[in-house]
């Protein structure tokens, strides 16, 4: 088992779970525009509230699958690829909103971790 892949997998998953649970209604300094919580951030991006819940549920499900992947390795790579795809979208939304690099650095970090996880866990069965 690739230790770097496992660390990236777990770190990306825990980061997403933290953002979408513990920090959901908090001002983190990394939110898009001048948003103070997740709902305001999605409004900055021009996305409706139902999209926020759909994106959040999907990201939480993918992150959870990545954690389960520690015990069921074959699900790690698809979950990592899925999360990486969502993070490409997150970075794109930050750029579209004209955010500073500081604001989208966490999304870029999770994208990097999920990508490393997908590559490093590619041969797990």
Q: Mean pLDDT throughout 43-61?
A: 96
Quick: pLDDT tens for 57-87. Answer: 999 999 999 999 999 999 999 999 999 999 9
pLDDT of 122 reads 77
Residue 31 pLDDT class (50, 70, 90 cuts): very high
How would DSSP label each residue in 66-104?
A: HHHTTTSGGGHHHHHHHHHHHHHHHHHHHHHTT--HHHH
Calpha distance 120→21 (Å, rounded): 27
């Amino acid at each position: 088992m690739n230790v770097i892949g496992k660390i990236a997998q777990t770190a990306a998953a825990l980061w997403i779970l933290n953002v979408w649970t513990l920090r959901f209604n908090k001002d983190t300094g990394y939110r898009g525009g001048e948003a103070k919580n997740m709902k305001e951030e999605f409004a900055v991006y021009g996305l409706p509230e139902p999209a926020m819940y759909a994106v959040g549920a999907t990201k939480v499900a993918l992150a959870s699958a990545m954690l389960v992947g520690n015990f069921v390795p074959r699900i790690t790579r698809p979950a990592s690829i899925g999360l990486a795809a969502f993070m490409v979208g997150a970075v794109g939304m930050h750029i579209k909103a004209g955010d500073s690099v500081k604001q989208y650095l966490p999304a870029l970090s999770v994208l990097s971790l999920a990508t490393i996880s997908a590559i490093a866990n590619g041969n797990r069965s």
